[in-house]
Amino acid sequence: MQLSVRIFFLLVLTGICSVSVFGQPAKGSDKSENVLAGTTWQVDGVPFETKDRELYSLSTIPENSYESHWGHFITFDETTFSSSYSAPCGNDCFTSVFGSYYFVTANQIHITVKSINRHGFCERESEELNRNYGYYRLEKTAGGWNLTRTD
């Protein structure tokens, strides 16, 4: 009888351990893979300078070409982004946007813009915003991604 009680408790203990170890999802499995983290893209305009813009096209940066040095760019870290602008001459308004993002689903991100910095020949001043810019659908294209506003 004592042996059967030990075996019973051993089976119960094994069952409890199995449920606690194998019954839980792996850490981070409820989040989508962050396909933007650690990437830099060329953008068709200043990204997230305004909430009114509906679509941004992110393109791969051409290697070893004259055009790869000039224009608007955005870099994504794990949870933040920053944009920059460069031009062959200094007679321009150089705008940088800084903010954060997170994935809501595998193809939708939420954007918050922290600040917009402007220097050079600009009509508007820099801004500290910390403003919700809403949700954007992430769609893969042949040369990069489209970000389309969804709200």
Domain borders along the chain are 32-149
Report pLDDT digits (tens) over 20-78: 344 443 333 445 689 999 999 999 999 999 999 999 999 999 887 666 789 999 999 99
Please indicate, yes or no, whether the overall pTM of this predicted structure exceeds 0.85: no
Provide DSSP, 30-71: TSPP-SSTTEEEEESS-TTS-S---EEEEEPPPTT-GGGGSE
How far apart are the C-alpha atoms of 78 and 149, rounded to whole Å? 21
pLDDT number for residue 140: 97
**Quick one: how many helices (H) and strands (E) in the chain?**
1, 8
